[in-house]
A = this chain, B = another copy of it.
């Protein structure tokens, strides 16, 4: 990142010509160096020129001792933006350093949506202590937002917005914007409301700027005007913004009155967060960041691994049923993981596609059956292809067995492969669909179920067929 500072008459504009969004590694090293050897004043001077979003990244990259020192130094005269930008676990560290009074000052300076996002992660007692110190007007706004369930439009919305009445003209609107002081820092649209404060239209600022002063606002409203209820889930909200390319949307309470707006920049984070959550959940980890401590990471992963231990033991119990068969022909023990592993991989492929299609609403009740049938067919096709390959591999590998036995071994593993690949495809789509129907996030629970099925079916079909074809 190259930066130039250019003096303007009134203030300094920082021109950033970027190749990369990442913080410069040299900057991290410099800061680490300064934190090891220099005085508080030097640290302050170094940090003063850094954009708060970069500072938040820098803090995440520092080693714990350096980080603690830096947080202690900057907690005085804290920039509220930094508090907002910090990654969850780091923000908790910062909040623990700040007094309720200091937190309240920072909170009061933020936009209401940012204040809510910082406060909602804190414990109830901490929240109450801080809110007590926030001036009444801001406090009431924040408290009202906090009454909406987590992850809803009510939590993400900003309570400052621009609304004009239906009979206003463009000129009146511009004059109002120039005079009014209590407006959000940045906004992209103006809402038109009727006498009951029900929103009836949205107008983008570029449209306002391009229209003549005497144009009535109601004549330049967008063709489509989106109103969302404050209890709408943020995931839905993000999909809505993406699908219709919205820049902001009006939020109404249950009487239909305009109470806030959600803007695109709030939602870009949500879309990313939700996809992120799916990735982590599919990988068997919950909300975990690279900055988490060893203890916290161990704890977060333990439960998932324990569940997996259960399924692994279950698979072993299946194998245990065929002890006598295995004893007769040790080649079976050698080949047995292949069928289970291929089923697990094929199941994971189908599962991944299904989970994402459900999240983006490309898969609904309407095409569910068609999708199951398709996965069944894909399972047959890939099953037959891999059955042929592995059948021949097994025959040639164990040629030293009794004459017909190695041929039959090929047939056994090929048949088990076809069965398990079909099972993988069908369960890979049915299991997440079922969870989705039960309103359980399919990303979190499906993968352990799918691999349990493919392990059990994999071992059972291979060893069962072997017992039946080879030894009876």
Contacts and interface: CB of A to CB of B under 8 A. Distances in A.
A205 interface: yes
B290 A357 contact: yes
9 contacts: A51-B244, A186-B207, A247-B247, A268-B268, A290-B353, A290-B354, A311-B341, A319-B333, A333-B336
Interface stretch (A38-46, A121-129, A139-147, A227-235): A227-235
B305 A386 contact: yes
A309 B349 contact: no
A351 B283 contact: yes
A221 B178 CA distance: 17
Given A272-B275, A316-B334, A206 B227 contact: no
A223 B282 contact: no
A403 B323 CA distance: 20
Interface stretch (A91-99, A130-138, A294-302): A294-302
A169 interface: no
Nearest to A379: B298
Q: State how many copies of this chain the complex holds.
A: 2
B349 A301 contact: yes
A234 to B, nearest CB: 11
Contacts of A353: 280, 283, 285, 288-290
Interface string A194-210: 00000011001111111
A209 to B, nearest CB: 5
A12 to B, nearest CB: 7
Contact of A9 (B184, B188, B218, B316): B218
A311 B60 CA distance: 37
A285 B362 contact: no
B377 A294 contact: yes
B239 A349 contact: no
A29 to B, nearest CB: 7
A21 interface: yes
Contact of A366 (B61, B207, B370): B61
Interface in A330-350: 330, 333-338, 340-342, 345-346, 348-349
A374 to B, nearest CB: 5
- Interface footprint category on A: 35 or more
A224 interface: yes
Interface in A7-43: 8-23, 25, 28-29
B243 A294 contact: no
A402 interface: no
Interface in A81-114: 87
A242 B87 CA distance: 14
Contact of A200 (B13, B289, B357): B13
Contact of A205 (B205, B304, B370): B205
Contacts of A226: 16, 18
A178 B178 CA distance: 18
Contact of A63 (B25, B212, B267, B370): B370
Nearest to A275: B275
Contact of A209 (B174, B279, B302, B357): B174
A356 B9 CA distance: 43
A278 B277 CA distance: 12
Given A21-B243, A205-B209, A309-B338, 19 more contacts: A16-B224, A18-B228, A21-B240, A25-B366, A61-B362, A63-B370, A188-B206, A247-B265, A276-B356, A279-B352, A283-B349, A285-B352, A290-B363, A294-B381, A301-B378, A301-B382, A315-B341, A319-B333, A341-B455
A9 B201 CA distance: 13
Contacts of A242: 268-269, 272
Contacts of A12: 223
Contacts of A219: 8-10
Contact of A382 (B222, B305, B378): B305
Contacts of A265: 245, 247, 264
A361 interface: yes
Contacts of A381: 294-295, 298
B209 A209 contact: yes
A278 to B, nearest CB: 6
Nearest to A362: B290
B352 A283 contact: yes
A9 B345 CA distance: 59
A241 B224 contact: no
Looking at A15, A53, A228, A381, the one whose CB has the most chain B CB atoms below 10 A away is A15
